[in-house]
């Protein structure tokens, strides 16, 4: 959902501060000796004097320039930083340390927008609504460098001012210089002490400013963890949203085994997913197994919840599987690979045509049929699927570390519409699954309204299974029967999983699964 206002922009109320804008209005024009003006003084018989040389705009460094351009696209066009930045780095041939700096400045600034705006507002004397957009972007970029990096203050200020002077609004350079110099007078902790609500009287407000999250997200995460703002784990959960996620690969079973993927990628076997590999560096897209579709880039949490759907035993046949909201196709590809090993077929439904194309590309060569349609009313026979995955659209609060600007773009008002959609999709899943079949309800959000709230109002006749039994070896799964994964606990995205069965006849004993890389066969 694209907001109508730039993400992170404060209300257009005047913000006053103790430091005014810089300018040149008081500078006096120089008059030559003898009272003769420059306009009339002649330098020889050739006529009027030469005009003084004008100062050329500075040439800003490319790392900061690309960071500023991405911030402008996020603010003005609703762009996604994690999709826009890689293309610009390639287009401008920015690599190595410069690419790393651009990535840190872009993603870090997007994550900290609300906090940065609070500090900028305290240091400036103009309302945000009175500033050019690029000036706002530059102020945010410069403030992030001053408060969140080890870049020397003079370098952060001068480099940011140079960006403005070389851009479309060079007149804003004086104001940017003045505000950033004021910002540089204190470190981050000092600004938190000055501007954040008192932790004793308003702990949620204090954490919201100190950890750069909207208050409503702090509340939602605290509720999901239990204990609210007094839970010491809450700060760790918020802090984890600011840590860049590791790259996880998935070895699609039947196409490549994990040991081979480890050898080809130089990675390490994942801790929990039998198909996962941790990649410590490099471009995963350059790996041949990823390029040819034998492997993919997929968070370990997504691997776990997709695999969990395939583990509970079902009575009778087990050949028809369904993914009700399949785009962009990562989970469909893993399910399709597992289905191929069992002689099953997966139907994948995606409502958006371009995302359906992504699914087709991802599952190429697997027993997967892709359908463009609404998962709430798929044009498929009801009560005919043995296993149904519902990876429901959600607020994405469990993947904030991957989508830097998302915390400021999402609004609490989004939740009601999403939970209504989630319930409607779950009702459809309940119609599509056959008696004795299994549904996996999945969200990438810990928000209780999207997790426990939806499951608590599930369609009648669906029985909850203990999902913990189908995530063997994963620690800290709570009391069950549903499971909430967390970045700060398991190192995965914040995936929620509920496994539900439509009662049928007699359910056979659980099947055994082979867990590659562990050398054992384990019952479900």
Q: Output the DSSP codes for 392-429.
A: -----GGGTTTSTTHHHH--TTHHHHHHHHHHHHHHHH
Are the C-beta atoms of 498 and 248 separated by less than 8 Å? no
**What tokens were used for 200?**
């004793």
218: left (phi over 0), alpha (psi -120 to 50) or beta: alpha
Three-class secondary structure of residue 229 per DSSP: helix
Report d(CA 346, CA 435) in Å as an integer.
18
Report d(CA 301, CA 276) in Å as an integer.
10
pLDDT of residue 59: 73
Q: Supply the pTM of this predicted model.
A: 0.84
pLDDT of residue 29: 34
* Alpha helix segments (H runs only) across 253-329: 258-265, 288-291, 300-309
**DSSP H or E stretch at residue 320:** strand 320-323
Q: Which residues contact 360 (CB under 8 A, 6 or more apart)?
A: 329, 370
Report d(CA 518, CA 467) in Å as an integer.
21
For residue 406, give the nearest of 494, 489, 299, 296 by alpha carbon: 494
Where does residue 454 rank: exposed (0-12), middle (13-18), buried (19+ CB within 10 A)?
buried
pLDDT of residue 55: 57
Q: Which residues contact 421 (CB under 8 A, 6 or more apart)?
A: 376, 392, 393
Are the C-beta atoms of 2 and 78 separated by less than 8 Å? yes
**What tokens were used for 124?**
């400036």
**What count of residues does the chain have?**
524
Q: What DSSP line would sit under 342-402, residue for residue?
A: HT-EEEEEESSHHHHHHHHHHTTTSSEEEEES-TTS-SS-TT-EEEEEEE-----GGGTTT
For residue 122, give the nearest of 202, 195, 207, 215 by alpha carbon: 195
Are the C-beta atoms of 49 and 43 separated by less than 8 Å? yes
Distance of CA 53 to the CA centre of its chain: 48
Choice among 110, 123, 394, 444 that is catalytic: 444
* Alpha helix segments (H runs only) across 230-372: 233-240, 258-265, 288-291, 300-309, 330-342, 353-362
| Average pLDDT by stretches of 10, the chain with 524 residues | 39 33 35 37 43 58 96 97 95 94 97 98 94 96 98 97 93 97 98 97 97 98 94 96 95 98 97 97 92 97 98 95 97 98 98 97 97 98 98 98 96 98 98 97 98 97 97 96 98 98 66 41 32
DSSP 502: -
For residue 89, give the nearest of 109, 110, 112, 106 by alpha carbon: 106
Where does residue 151 rank: exposed (0-12), middle (13-18), buried (19+ CB within 10 A)?
middle
**DSSP H or E stretch at residue 117:** helix 113-123
* Alpha helix segments (H runs only) across 184-298: 188-195, 203-210, 215-225, 233-240, 258-265, 288-291
- Confirm whether 444 is a catalytic residue: yes
pLDDT of residue 164: 95
Are the C-beta atoms of 464 and 272 separated by less than 8 Å? no
Are the C-beta atoms of 287 and 264 separated by less than 8 Å? yes
Neighbouring CB atoms inside 10 A of 443's CB total 28
pLDDT of residue 504: 79
């Amino acid at each position: 959902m694209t907001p109508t206002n730039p993400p992170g922009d404060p209300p257009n109320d005047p913000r006053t501060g103790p430091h005014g804008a810089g300018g040149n209005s008081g500078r006096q024009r120089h008059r030559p000796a003898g009272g003769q003006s420059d306009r009339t003084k002649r330098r020889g018989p050739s006529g009027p004097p030469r005009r003084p040389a004008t100062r050329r705009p500075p040439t800003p460094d490319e790392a900061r320039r690309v960071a500023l351009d991405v911030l402008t696209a996020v603010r003005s066009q609703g762009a996604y930083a994690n999709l826009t930045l890689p293309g610009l780095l390639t287009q401008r041939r920015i690599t190595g340390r410069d690419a790393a700096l651009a990535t840190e400045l872009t993603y870090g600034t997007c994550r900290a927008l609300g906090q940065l705006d609070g500090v900028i507002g305290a240091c400036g004397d103009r309302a945000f609504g009175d500033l050019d957009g690029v000036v706002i972007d530059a102020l945010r970029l410069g403030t992030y460098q001053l408060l969140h990096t080890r870049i020397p203050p003079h370098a952060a200020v001068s480099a940011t001012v140079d960006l403005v002077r070389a851009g479309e609004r060079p007149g804003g350079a004086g104001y940017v210089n003045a505000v950033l110099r004021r910002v540089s007078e204190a470190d981050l902790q000092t600004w938190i002490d000055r501007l954040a609500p008192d932790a004793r009287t308003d702990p949620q407000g204090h954490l919201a400013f100190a950890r750069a999250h909207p208050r409503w997200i702090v509340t939602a995460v605290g509720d999901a963890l239990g204990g609210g703002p007094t839970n010491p784990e809450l700060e760790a959960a918020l802090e984890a949203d600011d840590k860049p996620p590791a790259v996880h690969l998935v070895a699609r079973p039947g196409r490549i085994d994990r040991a081979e993927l480890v050898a080809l990628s130089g990675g390490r076997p994942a801790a929990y997913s039998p198909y996962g590999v941790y990649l410590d560096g490099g471009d995963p897209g350059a790996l041949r197994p990823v390029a040819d579709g034998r492997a993919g880039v997929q968070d370990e949490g997504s691997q776990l919840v997709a695999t969990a759907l395939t583990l509970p035993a079902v009575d009778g046949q087990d050949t028809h599987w369904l993914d009700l909201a399949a785009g962009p196709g990562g989970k469909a590809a893993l399910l399709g690979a597992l289905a191929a090993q069992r002689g099953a077929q997966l139907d994948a439904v995606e409502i958006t045509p371009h995302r359906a194309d992504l699914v087709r590309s991802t599952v190429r060569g697997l027993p997967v049929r892709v359908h463009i349609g609404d998962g709430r009313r798929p044009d498929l026979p009801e009560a005919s699927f043995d296993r149904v995955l519902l990876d429901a659209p959600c607020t994405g609060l469990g993947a904030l570390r991957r989508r830097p600007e998302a915390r400021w773009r999402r609004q609490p008002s989004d939740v009601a519409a999403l939970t209504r959609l989630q319930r409607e999709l779950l009702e459809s899943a309940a119609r599509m699954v056959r008696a004795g079949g299994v549904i996996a309800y999945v969200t990438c959000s810990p928000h209780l309204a999207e997790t426990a709230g939806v499951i608590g109002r599930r369609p009648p006749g669906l029985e909850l299974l203990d999902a913990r039994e189908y995530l063997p070896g994963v620690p800290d799964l709570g009391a069950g029967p549903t499971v909430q994964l967390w970045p700060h606990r398991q190192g995965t995205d914040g995936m929620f999983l509920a496994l539900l069965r439509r009662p049928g006849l007699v359910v056979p004993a659980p099947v055994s699964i082979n867990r590659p890389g562990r050398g054992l066969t384990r019952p479900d």
